[in-house]
Structure 1
Amino acid sequence: MTEEPSPPRADSRGDIVIITGLAGAGRETAAHALEDMGWYVVYNIAPQLISTLYELRASAVGRENRFAVVVDPRSGPFFNELSDVVAELRRSDIRLRLLFLTADEPTLVRRFDSVRRPHPLQGEEGVLEGIRREREMLAPYRRMADLVIDTSPLNVHQLTMKMRSVFGTHDEQRLTVTMLSFGFKYGIPLEADHVSDVRFIPNPYWVPELKPKRGTDTEVADFVLGDANAGEFVDRYLEMIAPALRGYSAENKHFTTLAIGCTGGKHRSVAIAEKIGDELRRIGHPVRIRHRDLGRE
């Protein structure tokens, strides 16, 4: 069962997400998803320290503070005070969300068996007894949670996507594309997911008045994009890359780098990367444009 959290409060001076729930239900996966979105995450601390650590972080970053903490019974007797800490934070002007992760017994037993680790509360008994003991111990926190996620049917990628959909900003929920121009004479960029060669386009380098200019200059861009083959390349490239971008989003890939290369990375690749980036922005993708070799000539 999943319950959606309340919308943000307009007067909130920051965000705290407290992640708790059953061992094996995905607490670390959920925390890593927040880290990947830029949240500051602290693992397995005493609940009494949450406010102090949050304020230290807030003193550095202000209202944009996004702070998450994983709290579970491993913190020993301190864990019993989590309910008081949650109540105190809810009275403040901080936006607090308590996230509780759970899963059914067969799923949890299978997960512990797959990693060959004991349940932290099983003691001299079996994994199932530890799971049941922890479920009973955590029942009050499930009832007070703002969001309950049953991870039984979810793999790690699906849980990560769920975390992004609930806690991410609009842009963080979408695939971000980096358009990277480069010069082949300086080497192919290792970080590229796709590499394309635009050295078939007439080179502005051989036009005296364009040679000193760059692909970001209007005169060079007009020259490059005015070529019929260049225009067709851009159109076909956008058609070709569309299913890949959809697939990346479906597979929980949130960043991709598309590299466009020419000889020196000054004219043709720069103009084409800018054009493709503009078109991708127009259809709704967050786009970053980086010209790796511009200025190296």
Structure 2
Amino acid sequence: MTTGSTKRVLLVTGLSGAGKTTALKTLEDIGWETVDNFPFRLVEGLLKTPPSSSRGDSDPPLALGFDSRTRGFEPNKLIASIKRLQQNQGYLISTLFLDCSGGELERRYGETRRRHPLALDRPAKEGIALERTLLEPFRRWADHVIDTSDLTANDLQREIREHFLLDKDAATTITITSFGFSRGLPNNIDLLFDVRFLANPFWNPDLKQMTGLDPDVAEFISKDPAYLEAIEKILDMLKFLLPRYQESGKAYVNIGIGCTGGRHRSVHVAERLSKDLRAAGFSPNVLHRNLASPPMEALESMQNLNGNRGI
């Protein structure tokens, strides 16, 4: 993040429509403090401002976005100011320039129906050409240049993460949530598994008031002929997907395990999967949304997949 007392600063600029907003949002996601279109004459004061006390890190690296719309934009004066700041041993300053072909920028502006900031009453092509000329000194001088002509937003996010990720070993936060479909879907679920096909302990009088945390309920569910194969297939899928989510920089993966009431089957399967994932080297968190909800026969009957109390 920082080397000793050296503060890391990344200046992000480039052609309008080339992806500056996407780049800054991605930098923010991976731990940078970001500010866009900040007047450059105020940057030195900003660098001396203490970080927010709400942040866990003491002094996060700073990414500053600017372009031809930024107040006080004069390329030669800005470069001179940056060079002067670079002479301060307390700052490690680098520049990222986002480039893009004129034809692709015209297409993007045509699709969004936005006007180019330097061609409000003229064709976008003229504004793009003028801005390219204005920003050429920055492109020649930049430490990092990314051409986004053939990149999707996801491609650009991946490039930013590869170049500027602060903690290369940062793990994806995995959360497994058990829940009952009868009480609604949880928010922000990435992967959803419906386990209502398993034998339902609710209809067993001895197990009805218990939960998936009780050994008797776990034993009942595990006797279902489909249980072991289902667990193996779900686990195989998770072991395949989770490393790829982490490689792509996904900070959170939320896995939902749903049954009817959210007290028996989903709870047990969530616990079983979390145990197996830990054995495979992952560190999932487990939440049981409806564990404390009272058992309700009306909901179990309505949500039954096959109209059969044995399922």
Confirm or deny a common fold (TM above 0.5).
Answer: yes
2:23 corresponds to which residue? 30
CA–CA separation in structure 1 for the residues paired with 2:185 and 2:124? 51
What secondary structure sits across from 1:20 in the alignment?
Answer: strand
Q: Give the SS at the match of 1:295.
A: coil
Q: Could you say which residue in structure 1 is the equivalent of 2:79?
A: 83
Q: Distance in 2 between matches of 1:130 and 1:258?
A: 47
Q: Pairwise CA RMSD of aligned residues?
A: 3.9
1:151 positional shift: 0.5
Aligned 1:135-284 pairs, distance under 5 A: 135-168=132-165, 169-170=167-168, 177-192=174-189, 193-198=191-196, 200-201=198-199, 203=201, 215=213, 219=215, 223=219, 227=223, 229-240=226-237, 255-280=252-277
Report what 2:36 is aligned to: 43
Structure 2: gaps spanning 5 or more residues: 295-311
Structure 1 unaligned spans of 5+: 1-7
Q: State percent identity of aligned pairs.
A: 31
Q: Is 1:93 the counterpart of 2:66 in the alignment?
A: no
TM-score, L = length of structure 1? 0.75
What's the CA shift for 1:20?
0.4
Which structure: larger Rg? 2
- Whether the 8 Å contact between 2:212 and 2:218 is mirrored in structure 1 is no
Is 2:108 aligned against 1:111?
Answer: yes
CA separation of 1:10 and 1:225: change in aligned 2, threshold 3 A: farther
Task: Please name the residue that 1:4 is paired with.
Answer: none
- Aligned-pair CA distance for 1:121: 2.6
Please tell me the residue identity of whatever aligns with 2:168: H
Go from structure 1 to structure 2 and tell me whether the alpha carbon gap of 1:49 and 1:288 turns closer, same or farther (over 3 Å shift).
farther
The 8 Å contact of residues 199 and 268 in structure 1, kept in 2 or not, is answered as no
2:26 counterpart letter in structure 1: A
Which has a greater percent of helix?
1
| 1:157 Cα deviation from its structure 2 partner | 2.0
Tell me if the contact between 1:205 and 1:267 (Cα under 8 Å) persists in the aligned partners. Answer: no
